[in-house]
Amino acid sequence: MILLRILLFAILTAFALGGLAGQSPEKRKTSPRAPQALERAEALRQSDPASAIGVLSELIQSRPSTQELTEAFLLLGDIYADIGQPELALGRYARALEVLPAGQNLLAASLYQRRGEVNRELGDLAAARTDFARCLSLAPALSAQKTACQEGLADLEASENNLSLSQSYYQQAQDSRPTDSVLQVRVNAKRADVYLQQNDLVNSANSLNQALEKVPRAQALPPDDSRELISANTNLRSAVIKAAPNLDREITEVLPAAPIPLLATDNFARFQTLRELGRLPEAERQLRDALQQLDSLTPAEISTEIYAAGADYYLDRRQPTRAAEIYRAYTVANDRLLAEKREEVNQLAAVLRAQQDVDLGLKDLSAAEAESQFLSQQVSLQRWLIYLLAASLLGALVLVAIILRNVRKRRRANQELLLRNLQTRMNPHFIFNSLNSINNYIARQDERSANRYLGRFAKLMRNVLDQSGKDFVPLAEELEQLALYLELEKERFGEQFRYQLVSPAAAESLEVPLNLPPMILQPFVENAIWHGLRYRPEGGALEVRLCAEGRETYLEIIDNGIGRARSAALKTANQLAHRSTGVATTQKRLELINEHYGTRYWLHIEDAFPAEEFVGTRVRLALGRSPHSGAAPSSFTPEKQAPFVP
């Protein structure tokens, strides 16, 4: 009787589930606001790329149609390419190709053409060649897209010094769109450079003159095309004056209403070449013409270069008054250039912040798609249950087992998503302090320090982005990343602290290699510097070392700063209102990693020198057994290091 009741209950449950199974999961619908969002993002692309990225992030999270999703990723890639982030652009183009609807050959050709340009910029010429070939196979004949692919292939062949083949592709591009004046200007300028590489000054001069003749009278050239024309003219002008003066023609003979930047750079190129040849009176005339043509609308980079050369020339000619006058104009132009560079840095910071929102949105979208797929699987399972549970109780038991297995899988997936989320919150923790330092250098007009600091910061950010998709990295790689971060902090604080870091070679010498979650050490080092060492009047020391006790291996981070208690007492009301979550987030990551991967990481924080005036802080991280590293390490010989002085 009990078995009959259980069977009856199972059958009724199956029919109830069958009714629910008839409900289809929510399908992706076209958002009525998607076209407006794409148009708004396109309008903001040049003036405010960070806002454009924000608009596209909201659109992606709204689950639009696949066509709109493809166009959103395509535009995201274009924005990143515009602001000089080719790696990010390449990733967005790849996502666009993943969701591209079938049969969209023209859109696919456009994506491959853009990917080819980015791969060429990154130096991956083989991948660029493959992308351009796919573009040519997909683009319709005589279309603007096919012409763009031919021009991209021509640029690629020129970069590989296949100059004759490059000229052939340029000719095809010109023949396919003879009425496109902007394209004719750009391609003729490029051909002039290629002819110059072939030492064919006659054809180079002819190509440049054809480019000048095609310059539109009623509209300005796009900035990239204008730079291409200026570069070709400068290169050819120097070669012609030196080797073939009979080919030299004034720009105004070919293009009477030439743009001011083109005229100024032409006269400047003549000045530099004539000065190099020792023809100083002629050179000075060209310099005067170049200086007279500069105004507030001339690009700051061009004005700065010409003013600097002019001041140098007149100083060399023993005319200090004239040199000082030009130098004053140089300082004004240089201030304008520095302001533009500062704006670029601020824009990059805003874009990086917007990029974090995009990454989180993509994770949410992936989770939603995974959940939708999971629900679809459940619907299919429930339809089968109608027949299985009606036949026997065994079918009901099988169903329970399947549901429990799916619940466990979903729980594991949720843990992985939470780990990714915590890691994503850790990665940008130190970015904004570094950007403030760069801005400070620029404000002080310390261009060399700003460039040096920005180069190190860019390398560090590139490594952070490379690690963002990894759950674990080798200990040696994590130490190398930490060394980069310490170099940046040392650059910022100067003699305020010194540090000693265990070398990556020591980590590689372990019998069994160890792995760490990425960015796990940086929050503790940052806390040691910002909350301990920087408050010590005479400066302090920081040490990161690797040590072993028995079968356990530890990483220790020791500083002789003011300690946690005094640091908390020094905090302002505003700092107390802002609760730092770096250490708490790290501890949460370690707990989840131990649970998820079966590792044995644990963390202990204490005062390093309790009896001293500056008690400092000691952070001990037990490495335990990390994934892919086998058993716990059996032996380790630490490096010989100088003793730590509190």
CA dihedral 383, 389, 391, 397 (to 10 degrees): 130
Binning the chain into helix, strand and coil, the percentages to the nearest 5 are 70, 5, 25
Residue 76 CB burial class (10 angstroms; 0-12, 13-18, ≥19): buried
Q: Which of 45, 61, 62 is nearest to 53 (CA)?
A: 45
Whether 185 has a pLDDT exceeding 50, the answer reads yes
Q: C-alpha angle 83/88/94, rounded to 5°?
A: 130
Q: What is the DSSP string of 401-441?
A: HHHHHHHHHHHHHHHHHHHHHHHHHHGGGGHHHHHHHHHHH
Antiparallel, parallel or unpaired: β 540-549 and 497-501: parallel
Confidence band, pLDDT 50/70/90 cuts, at residue 545 = very high
pLDDT of residue 257: 65
Q: Three-state secondary structure along 35-95?
A: HHHHHHHHHHCCCCHHHHHHHHHHHHHCCCCHHHHHHHHHHHHHHHHHCCCHHHHHHHHHH
Helix extents (H) in 427-514: 431-443, 447-467, 475-493, 504-508
H/E run at residue 390:
helix 320-391
Q: Considering the chain, what percentage of its residues have pLDDT values greater than 70?
A: 79
Residues present in the chain in total: 646
CA distance 346 to 350: 6
Confidence band, pLDDT 50/70/90 cuts, at residue 297 = confident
Residue 83: how many other CB atoms lie within 10 Å: 16
What does the pLDDT average to over 487-491? 86
CA distance 293 to 264: 6
Structure tokens, 236: 């050819």
pLDDT of residue 500: 92
CA 69 to chain centre: 21
Q: Which of 24-38, 168-182, 493-507 has the lowest mean pLDDT?
A: 24-38
Q: Which of 245, 174, 255, 150 is nearest to 208 (CA)?
A: 255
Whether 615 has a pLDDT exceeding 70, the answer reads yes
Whether 629 has a pLDDT exceeding 70, the answer reads no
**Residue of 384 and 441 predicted with greater confidence:** 384
Structure tokens, 318: 């023993």
CA 573 to chain centre: 36
Question: Can you tell me which residue has the tokens 């850790």?
Answer: 426
Question: Backbone phi, then psi, for 167, in 5-degree steps?
Answer: -60, -35
pLDDT of residue 20: 46
Confidence band, pLDDT 50/70/90 cuts, at residue 543 = very high
Residue 614 CB burial class (10 angstroms; 0-12, 13-18, ≥19): buried
- Give 277's DSSP letter: H
pLDDT tens column, 196-221: 888 888 888 888 888 888 888 767 77
CA distance 29 to 543: 56
pLDDT of residue 16: 52
pLDDT of residue 30: 47
pLDDT of residue 29: 47
**Mean pLDDT, the chain, whole residue set:** 79
Do 205 and 169 meet the contact criterion of CB atoms below 8 Å apart? no
Q: Which of 45-59, 422-436, 537-551 has the lowest mean pLDDT?
A: 422-436
CA 271 to chain centre: 39
CA distance 187 to 178: 11
In order of start, what are the domains of the chain with their CATH numbers? 474-646 (3.30.565.10)
pLDDT tens column, 511-538: 777 888 888 888 889 888 888 888 888 8
What does the pLDDT average to over 148-161? 88
CA distance 48 to 66: 26
Structure tokens, 251: 């720009």
pLDDT of residue 454: 84
CA distance 484 to 463: 10
pLDDT tens column, 368-410: 555 555 566 667 777 787 777 777 777 777 777 788 777 776 6
Looking from the CA of 221 toward its CB, the CA atoms found within 13 Å total 25
pLDDT of residue 630: 46
Give the best-scoring range by mean pLDDT among 113-117, 197-201, 540-544. Answer: 540-544
Antiparallel, parallel or unpaired: β 617-622 and 552-559: antiparallel
Taking each helix axis from N to C terminus, what angle separates 86-99 and 447-467, rounded to the nearest 10 degrees?
30
Do 614 and 562 meet the contact criterion of CB atoms below 8 Å apart? yes
pLDDT of residue 176: 85
**Residue of 371 and 599 predicted with greater confidence:** 599
The widest CA-to-CA distance across the chain, in whole angstroms, is 117
Confidence band, pLDDT 50/70/90 cuts, at residue 27 = very low
H/E run at residue 498:
strand 497-501
Whether 506 has a pLDDT exceeding 80, the answer reads no
Amino acid, single-letter form, for residue 438: I
**Residue of 346 and 293 predicted with greater confidence:** 293
Confidence band, pLDDT 50/70/90 cuts, at residue 609 = very high
pLDDT of residue 352: 66
CA distance 267 to 2: 102
Amino acid, single-letter form, for residue 638: P
What does the pLDDT average to over 269-285? 87
Q: Which of 333, 300, 299 is nearest to 221 (CA)?
A: 299
Q: Is 537 helix (H, G, I), strand (E, B) or coil?
A: coil
Whether 334 has a pLDDT exceeding 50, the answer reads yes
Whether 151 has a pLDDT exceeding 60, the answer reads yes
Predicted TM-score (pTM) of this structure: 0.49
pLDDT tens column, 61-98: 777 788 888 888 888 888 888 888 888 888 888 888 88
Question: Backbone phi, then psi, for 552, in 5-degree steps?
Answer: -105, 140
pLDDT of residue 459: 84
Question: Backbone phi, then psi, for 94, in 5-degree steps?
Answer: -65, -40
Confidence band, pLDDT 50/70/90 cuts, at residue 225 = confident
pLDDT of residue 643: 46
Whether 491 has a pLDDT exceeding 70, the answer reads yes
What does the pLDDT average to over 107-128? 88
CA distance 227 to 302: 11
CA distance 264 to 285: 12
Q: Considering the chain, what percentage of its residues have pLDDT values greater than 90?
A: 5
